[in-house]
């Protein structure tokens, strides 16, 4: 295939994309294939000779599409959304065609300067103080790893990268059970070790980290000769939407001069709406914050917004400047590869620019408010339904519930069976989670094109199938 062939196939893909999104409601949300079914249709080795594009596309439709779970489906209620608005997709089309590697200012000045400005736009739209400076990371996991590495270096007086952890005091990081497992992985990769991730008990309806117990744990570790390094708080935890009291957690951390990172990967997008910001009151006290516009805001994966109060701490932790990466003769520039673990960087900021300009902040706020309103309405329908009970009330657009008829002897097994049957049915897609030891059904609304009718269909499907169990 040559660039002279590209216009024909580029138009084909554009038409295919419009048809695909227009027909999503007619498709099962979750892939209905069995393990190994797709691999069995793929050749064991690459072809020696090139093949016509027509044949490749036919096989794409025949082999690949049946094995795709449709994350853009308006009735995708599992996990968290991974939205792809048309405007952001168009921006990524331009980026993919140009294929720039944006690791340094000089390797694409537009990418660096747009990233700076888009992070300023986003910071201001979220109501964060101007003291925060933003960088686009690949994921919240990458941002959390960068935060943990910064905690480590600051606690070790910047000696970790040079001397390693051997012979150093054992570092301690503090978080609740509600934080995402990306925190555990960051602890592993940073060399701190799982045993040194101290889990703080939660309390209250928001399942928040107990600040008094956080303070007690830090004091106990200091007395035992450990070296506390940082605290990771969450807003909108993955399981049930748990929200820490960010202000109180930051106050405890500040008392002990510890770095505080806030994981708002999903819920952070909702902070475009001022009325939801009570969920992260005190965030201005944190050292760093992460949220994922590629979840609920409308920019497809990958685009994670990482805000830091002191960029110099982040770059001191991560920056390496061999001669071939230096930009000579230019003062005051930013090289964002020095703010990230990977050296290579995509031109992700273009997606945000297209998104903000085509929908406007008010258009995005309307989408977010609708999802919250519809989820609350659905929750009340389940609360009133016979044999169903609400386990955790809505946090934004996320709540949990379970099917609990009096005749049931094993509610965990019954609810897992219900989840499996619903997902096999294909009209909607949901997941399970555990809270206070019980298996419950987890629901969230957040797909960019979802309507109230899509959300309400979840009630019809779930109650219909539950009645057959």
119-157 pLDDT, tens digit per residue, is 999 999 999 999 999 999 999 999 999 999 999 999 999
pTM above 0.85, yes or no: yes
What is the reported pLDDT for 159?
Answer: 92
Residue 37 has pLDDT above 90, yes or no: yes
For 69-83, letters b (16+ CB in 10 Å) and e give: ebbbbbbbbbbbbbb
Could you give the maximum distance between any two Cα atoms of the chain, in Å?
A: 77
Could you tell me where the beta strands, DSSP code E, fall in 147-257?
171-176, 197-200, 202-203, 208-209, 227-234
**How many Å apart are CA 163 and CA 153, to the nearest integer?**
11
**How many Å apart are CA 146 and CA 141, to the nearest integer?**
9
What is the average pLDDT across 199-212?
Answer: 94
Q: Which CATH entry fits the domain spanning 101-346: 3.40.640.10, 3.40.50.12280, 3.40.50.2000, 3.40.47.10? A: 3.40.640.10
Could you tell me where the beta strands, DSSP code E, fall in 139-196?
171-176
Q: Which residue has the tokens 């910071």?
A: 123
The pLDDT-based confidence of 326 (bands split at 50, 70, 90) is low
Q: Strand, helix or coil at 427?
A: coil
**How many Å apart are CA 174 and CA 172, to the nearest integer?**
7
The pLDDT-based confidence of 285 (bands split at 50, 70, 90) is very high
What is the reported pLDDT for 328?
Answer: 47
What is the reported pLDDT for 325?
Answer: 57
What is the reported pLDDT for 291?
Answer: 97
**Residue pLDDT, tens place only, 81-94:** 899 999 999 999 99
**Poorest-pLDDT segment among 167-181, 216-230, 261-275, 352-366:** 167-181
**How many Å apart are CA 252 and CA 235, to the nearest integer?**
17
Could you tell me where the beta strands, DSSP code E, fall in 377-455?
388-395, 398-403, 431-435, 438-444
Average model confidence (pLDDT) for the chain?
A: 94
Q: Strand, helix or coil at 76?
A: strand
Q: Report residue 198: phi and psi, to 5°.
A: -90, 120
Show the tokens assigned to 426.
């294909």
The pLDDT-based confidence of 203 (bands split at 50, 70, 90) is very high
What is the average pLDDT across 307-326?
Answer: 82
**How many Å apart are CA 324 and CA 384, to the nearest integer?**
65
Q: From residue 380, how far is each of 183, 206, 293 by CA, in Å?
A: 33, 19, 28
Q: Strand, helix or coil at 384?
A: helix
What is the reported pLDDT for 107?
Answer: 86
The pLDDT-based confidence of 106 (bands split at 50, 70, 90) is confident
**How many Å apart are CA 199 and CA 148, to the nearest integer?**
15
Residue 400 has pLDDT above 90, yes or no: yes
Pairing state of beta strands 431-435 and 438-444?
antiparallel
Share of the chain above pLDDT 70, in %: 98
What is the reported pLDDT for 1?
Answer: 87
**Percent helix, strand and coil across the chain, each rounded to 5?**
50, 15, 35
**Residue pLDDT, tens place only, 47-74:** 999 999 999 999 999 999 999 999 999 9
Peptide bond into 302 cis (omega under 30): yes
Q: Which residue has the tokens 């903000």?
A: 356
The pLDDT-based confidence of 342 (bands split at 50, 70, 90) is confident
What is the average pLDDT across 175-195?
Answer: 92
**How many Å apart are CA 418 and CA 6, to the nearest integer?**
47
For the chain, the domains span 101-346
What is the average pLDDT across 254-277?
Answer: 97
Question: Pick from 121, 112, 119: which is nearest to 133 by CA?
Answer: 119
Q: How many residues does the chain have?
A: 469
DSSP string for 239-260: TT--B--HHHHHHHHHHTT-EE
**How many Å apart are CA 146 and CA 154, to the nearest integer?**
12
Show the tokens assigned to 469.
């169990």
């Amino acid at each position: 295939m040559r660039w002279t062939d590209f216009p024909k196939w580029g138009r084909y893909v554009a038409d295919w994309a419009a048809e695909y999104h227009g027909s999503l409601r007619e498709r099962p949300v979750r892939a209905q294939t069995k393990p190994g079914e797709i691999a069995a249709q793929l050749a064991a080795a690459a072809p020696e000779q090139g093949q016509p594009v027509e044949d490749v596309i036919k096989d794409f439709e025949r082999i690949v599409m049946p094995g795709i779970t449709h994350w853009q489906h308006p009735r995708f209620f599992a996990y968290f959304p991974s939205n792809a608005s048309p405007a952001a997709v168009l921006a990524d089309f331009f980026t993919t065609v140009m294929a720039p590697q944006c690791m340094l200012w000089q390797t694409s000045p537009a990418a660096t300067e747009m990233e700076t400005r888009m992070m300023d736009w986003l910071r201001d739209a979220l109501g964060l103080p101007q003291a925060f400076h933003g960088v686009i990371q690949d994921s919240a996991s990458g941002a959390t790893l960068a935060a943990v590495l910064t905690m480590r270096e600051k606690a070790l007086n910047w000696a970790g990268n040079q001397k390693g952890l051997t012979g150093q005091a054992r570092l301690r990081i503090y978080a609740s059970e509600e934080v995402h497992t990306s925190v555990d992985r960051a602890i592993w990769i940073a060399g701190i070790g799982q045993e040194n991730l101290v889990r703080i008990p939660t309390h209250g309806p928001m399942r928040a980290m107990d600040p008094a117990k956080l303070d007690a744990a830090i004091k106990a570790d200091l007395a035992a000769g450990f070296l506390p390094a940082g605290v990771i708080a969450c807003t909108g935890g993955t399981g049930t939407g748990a929200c820490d009291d960010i202000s109180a957690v930051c106050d405890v951390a500040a008392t002990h001069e510890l770095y505080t990172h806030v994981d708002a990967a999903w819920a952070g997008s909702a902070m475009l709406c001022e009325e939801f910001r009570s969920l992260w009151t005190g965030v201005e006290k944190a050292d760093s914050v992460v949220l994922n516009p590629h979840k609920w805001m409308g920019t497809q994966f990958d685009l994670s917004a990482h805000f830091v109060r002191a960029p110099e701490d982040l770059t001191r932790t991560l920056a390496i400047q061999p001669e071939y990466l230096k930009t000579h003769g230019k003062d005051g520039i930013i090289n964002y590869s020095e703010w990230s673990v990977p050296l290579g960087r995509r031109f992700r900021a273009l997606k945000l620019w297209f998104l903000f300009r085509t929908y406007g902040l008010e258009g995005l706020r309307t989408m977010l408010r609708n999802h919250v309103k519809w989820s609350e309405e659905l929750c009340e329908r389940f609360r009133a339904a016979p044999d169903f009970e609400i386990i955790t009330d809505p946090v934004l657009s996320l709540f949990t519930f379970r099917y609990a008829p009096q005749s049931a002897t094993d509610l965990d097994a019954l609810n897992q069976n219900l989840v499996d049957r619903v997902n096999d049915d294909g009209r909607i897609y949901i997941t399970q989670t555990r809270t206070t030891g019980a298996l419950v059904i987890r629901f969230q609304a957040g797909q960019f094109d979802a309507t109230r009718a899509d959300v309400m269909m979840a009630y019809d499907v779930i109650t219909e199938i539950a009645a057959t169990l």
